[in-house]
Each structure stands twice: as C-alpha cells, then as structure tokens.
Amino acid sequence: MTYTHLTEAQRELRDHTEKIAATLPANGEPGTINRPLLAALAEHGLLGRLFPKTSAMDLCLIREALARHHTEAETAFALQGLGAYPILLGGSPSVVDTWLPRIAAGEAAVGFALTEPDAGSDVASLSLSATRDGDDYRLNGEKVFISNAPHADVYSVFARTSDNGARGITAFAVPGNAPGLSGTAQRLVSPHPIGSLRFDDVRVPADAVLGDVDGGWRLAMRTLDMFRPSVGAFALGMAQAALDAAVAHTADRQAFGRPLRDFQAVSHQLADVATRLQAARLLVHDAAAAYDSGAERTGHLSAMAKLFATETAQQAVDVAVQVHGARALEEGHLLEHLYREVRAPRIYEGASEIQREIIARHLYR
C-alpha cells in the first residue's frame, strides 16, 4: 500500500524499519529481557529515535514495521519507550542525565510501574505508598504486570503521596537495585519480560520525583495518550503479518481441485480483514497526527485507534488461523505465535471497555 497521507520521510522510516527488523537477533529466553536485542535496536538507531521526544506518528510507524516481522523486537522497543517517557517528561536534569543515555544505548532496561493487585483499570485507586522521610521518600507496597520486571535497571514508579484519589499520586524514578526492592517474574500466555515488584521501605531521594508531587496521574496519562495509538500500530503489524500469511496460503493450498482463494467463503473473509485493517491504520495515524499537532484533547482519538485496531487484529489473526486449518495450531507456527501475542493489547494500557468509556465520556462532554 502507498499510504499517500504519509510524507516521504515517514514512508522511508517505515521501510527502513522493516529492513532492520529482518536483521535483528533471534528471540531470547522467553520471559526475560533480551539485552542483545536491546543493544541491536540501539545500534540501528531505533531506541535513539525515542529521545529527545519523538513524534507519535514515528512511534506508530516503527512499532507496526517491527511487529510485522519481529514481535519480540517490537515489544522490547515499546517497553523501553513506555518506561522512559515519564523520566523524559518529568525527570530532573540529574535523573535524565543518569538514565536516558543508557536507555537509548540499550545498556539499561526500564519499566513502567503503574498496575497493582487491586488497581488495574481503576488505576487511580492504587495504594503503593510514598511517605516523606526527611529528604527522602519511603515506598511500601506491591506492583504487578510490570514491564521488564523484576530485572529492569530503573522503573518509573507511581505511588500514593496523599489521600486525594487521582490527584494524590506521584511518580518516581527508582533504580532496580534499590535496597528493599524485590520481585518475581510472571509467566503469561505470551512470555514477555513481565513481573511483580515488592517495595519494603525502599528509600528514594526527593530529586527522584518525576514531575510534580501529587502530579503523577497527569504524567501517566500524558505518557499513555502518547503510546495508545502505537499500541494499535503494534496490533496492526501483527494483523498484517497474519493477513500476508493467509493470502499466501490460500493462493497455493488446493482443496476440491482448486485453490482456496477461489472459494468466496475464504476470499471474502480476507477482503473484510484487509478493509478493516486499512480503516484501523487510518484511525491510528489520525490519532497520532492529532497528538503531534498539540491539539488540546486527543484522548478519545487515541482510545478509538487502540480499540478498533486491537479488536481488528484479534479478528484478523483468528481468520488467518481458520483458513490455515490445524497446521496453524502447531507449536512454532507463525500464527500460533501471533494468536498468543495478539490477545494482550486488548487489555494493557487500558482495556477495550475502558477505551469505550473514554469515547463515551467525550460524546457527552
């Protein structure tokens, strides 16, 4: 597809990233940080594009291109960006100078620590406490489903500093080796580096605060508004890979004396998937362009993009599995891999139900 709404530079970025994806290291040990892959992403300049602040459109183009060919590379890239953005947006000069060059160089893995055992979609109810103690803060509580945990080098941690709902949350940059910080890996359907964290009187200095005290919720939302369209782009990359595989398979596979492509029950399903993918891609790019323009309110556009793209990707992969038949269920098959990978984006960074709530609230604003 030509994507005539993109600039020449944007098309070149997409094409260049697809070429890079084909040269990246193979998958590492499931559920662990693939540090050679981080180093390769940095060597090719992709991590460096996150800093200083990248555009939401470029983020979408990179994530879709990586996901189409190398989902682990896409996830590694995205987790670095998500965890680092609160530091970029709100870190003191010393915190920024300590961590961002190492993150961009692929030398330090970073995590985004927001979700808790009793605070998932209702993140404003989080309870990990940050209590002022002289020139420091003491952090106590738990986090779950945290990117790159428990082996990240630094985390952007969101903790409660006052009993004021969403307006009582503060963000901190917390080194992964801080005394009192521990964690365990969590095994998911798709084995990404995800884990839980335990904070037992973890001391962090006041200059580790990201942004303003009690301003962490705004910082989290600014980060998520930036990244939500690109979650849709990640889903689109997987969906495009699934559609590519389905088209190739149905063009060659014979049944009842003719290729599967000649059966409308097959080809029309793929036509519907292709149409939905193009619509989703335009939604994603529109939300990214709106964010980059500095428009005052873009949250509903990001919600539409993430909702439609992730739901469409689930359908695309499911259809591709169906037209392949049982072979797609074999361990190691591309579609077996994509079937496991595609489910999570409908949940993280705001489940589909939360995206619908954001859109509905905008309608009645």
Taking only the tens place, the pLDDT of each residue in 23-74 is: 998 777 888 999 999 999 999 999 999 887 789 999 999 999 999 999 999 9
Active site residue 357: no
Percent of the chain at pLDDT above 90? 82
Query: Is residue 173 a contact partner of residue 152, using CB atoms and an 8 Å limit?
Result: no
pLDDT score at 365:
87
What is d(CA 268, CA 264) in angstroms, rounded to the nearest whole number? 5
For the chain, the average pLDDT equals: 93
What is d(CA 31, CA 196) in angstroms, rounded to the nearest whole number? 13
**Banded model confidence at residue 166, pLDDT cuts 50, 70, 90:** confident
Q: Looking up tokens 């323009």, which residue turns up?
A: 293
Query: Is 70 exceeded by the pLDDT of residue 362?
Result: yes
pTM of the model: 0.93
Taking only the tens place, the pLDDT of each residue in 115-159 is: 999 887 777 789 999 999 999 999 999 999 999 999 999 999 999
pLDDT score at 2:
61
Most distant CA atoms of the chain, gap in Å: 80
Radius of gyration of the chain (CA): 21
**Banded model confidence at residue 262, pLDDT cuts 50, 70, 90:** confident
Query: Is 80 exceeded by the pLDDT of residue 171?
Result: yes
Domains of the chain: residue spans and CATH: 8-104 (1.10.540.10), 110-214 (2.40.110.10), 217-363 (1.20.140.10)
pLDDT-wise least confident of 13-27, 94-108, 142-156, 174-188? 13-27
Query: Is 70 exceeded by the pLDDT of residue 1?
Result: no
What is d(CA 109, CA 111) in angstroms, rounded to the nearest whole number? 7
Taking only the tens place, the pLDDT of each residue in 73-102 is: 999 999 999 999 999 999 999 999 999 999
Query: Is 90 exceeded by the pLDDT of residue 164?
Result: no
pLDDT score at 48:
92
What is d(CA 98, CA 117) in angstroms, rounded to the nearest whole number? 30
**Banded model confidence at residue 296, pLDDT cuts 50, 70, 90:** confident
Query: Is 70 exceeded by the pLDDT of residue 230?
Result: yes
Q: How many CB atoms lie within 10 A of CB 282?
A: 14
pLDDT score at 255:
84
Q: Classify residue 159 as exposed, middle or buried by CB count within 10 Å of its CB (0-12, 13-18, 19+).
A: buried
What is d(CA 21, CA 35) in angstroms, rounded to the nearest whole number? 16
Q: Backbone phi, then psi, for 144, in 5-degree steps?
A: -135, 160
Query: Is residue 139 a contact partner of residue 202, using CB atoms and an 8 Å limit?
Result: yes
Region 166-192 average pLDDT: 94
The single residue of 142, 349, 353, 357 carrying the catalytic annotation is: 349
